[in-house]
Structure 1
Amino acid sequence: MIDNEPLTSAIFSDMVFLFGNKHYGEHLGYIVTRCPDCRDDRIFSVDQRREKLTVYFVPTVQYRAKQYMTCQGCGKSLEIADKLKEEIAGRLMTETELKKVLGEIAGEHRSLMAVCQACSQPVERGMRFCPSCGHPLS
């Protein structure tokens, strides 16, 4: 007996398409700016997250790219608006540059403030643990 279904539907009835999406992340650098939650100048980690459509586990089409900055003090994550990306990119520092700047600031104010050796956040003298990261203070 001959099946009267079109040839294309017969072909597609035996095919399986595996598709989904995959998230990619990339660390871009650091900036120092005022945190809206902490209401203080804080270090922010700047990251980019991209999502790609995948077919057969192979990334094919990027359909979303967003940049975020995360306060290293309170953990607040903020999406960076497209119009601010260029300004933020101009202010980015590597971890080495950030440590140098923080070291210079700490050197200028060493008599006024102590700094956590682990996260470089200011701490009050006499504290046993850093309130930002919990690292023991010497």
Structure 2
Amino acid sequence: MVIFGWRQYAHRLAVLTLVCRSCGNPAAHMLRKLVTKFTLFFVPLIPLSTKHSLQCTWCGAESKLTKQQATELAGRAQTENVHSGQPADPSWHGQPPRNY
């Protein structure tokens, strides 16, 4: 018996503050990449498709982007973080890693 299928993986690329096209509020938007991979015995092997989207955290509206648009927005988010003094990694909270 061979078990195969597909699974989707969501990656957060950046968080940007933009004016939402749907609700008109200046709110945080999550730039995400959704990758669908072929799995064999629950092991992801081959990427089948990649999609990029921008989702408003205020109203939940989601818009699809091309790879080029997503790359430009990710670069813009990184330069905004550098100029504002914020870390580029949103999971970093200003504490250096511990050396055990």
Calculate the TM-score normalised by the size of structure 1: 0.52
Counterpart-to-counterpart distance in 2, 1:85 and 1:42: 18
Q: Counterpart in 1 of 2:5? A: 20
In the alignment, is the contact (CA less than 8 A) between 2:2 and 2:41 conserved in 1?
yes
**Structure 1 residue 58: Cα displacement:** 1.2
- Larger helix percent: 1
Identity of matched residues, %:
23
Q: CA RMSD in A?
A: 2.3
Q: Which ranges of structure 2 fall in alignment gaps of 5 or more residues?
A: 87-100
Q: TM-score normalised to the size of structure 2?
A: 0.69
- Number of aligned residues: 83
> Which residue is equivalent to 1:71?
56
Q: Which structure has the higher relative contact order (CA within 8 Å, separation 6+)? A: 2
Provide the C-alpha distance between the structure 2 equivalents of 1:25 and 1:86, rounded to a whole number of angstroms.
16
SS, match of residue 47 in structure 1: strand
Give the distance between the partners of 1:46 and 1:79, measured in 2 at CA. 10
Q: Deviation above 4 Å: which 4+ runs of structure 1?
A: none
Q: Does 2:14 match 1:29?
A: yes
**Bigger proportion of residues as strand:** 2
Contact 1:18-1:56 at 8 Å conserved across structures = yes
Work out the CA distance in 1 between the residues paired with 2:5 and 2:16.
34
